[in-house]
Amino acid sequence: MENIANGVINVHVNPKDKEMANNILKSLGLNMTTLINMTLKQVIKRNGVPFEVVNPTPSEDLKEALNEVDEMINNKEKYKRYSNREDLKKALLSDD
């Protein structure tokens, strides 16, 4: 039988994230070491990351909303401003 020495990986993680992940893994009957070894085996098997890694793409609705906000910011004279919530509420409830 081949004697393979263990490699060591040190990873800095947010303590709260680590605790939450450990609790989930425990409920699955796993521990962090097992998860990391499983993940590494999948990286090797797939020759890549075993889950989707993408840059988030904003929806068309979000793009439209962001453009609208830019328009409001860049054309302040075109859009009425309110200094407090009560004035805004009155304007929204008025028939004008």
Q: How confident is the model at residue 67 (pLDDT cuts 50, 70, 90)?
A: very high
Question: Which structure tokens are listed for 72?
Answer: 């409001």
Question: Cα separation of 30 and 23, whole Å?
Answer: 9
Q: What is the mean pLDDT of residues 15-44?
A: 96
Question: Cα separation of 33 and 9, whole Å?
Answer: 10
Q: What is the pTM of this model?
A: 0.53
Q: Tokens 């409920």 identify what position?
A: 27
Mean pLDDT lowest for which of 26-30, 46-50, 92-96?
92-96
96 three-state secondary structure: coil
pLDDT of residue 79: 86
Look at residue 33 and tell me whether its pLDDT is greater than 90. yes
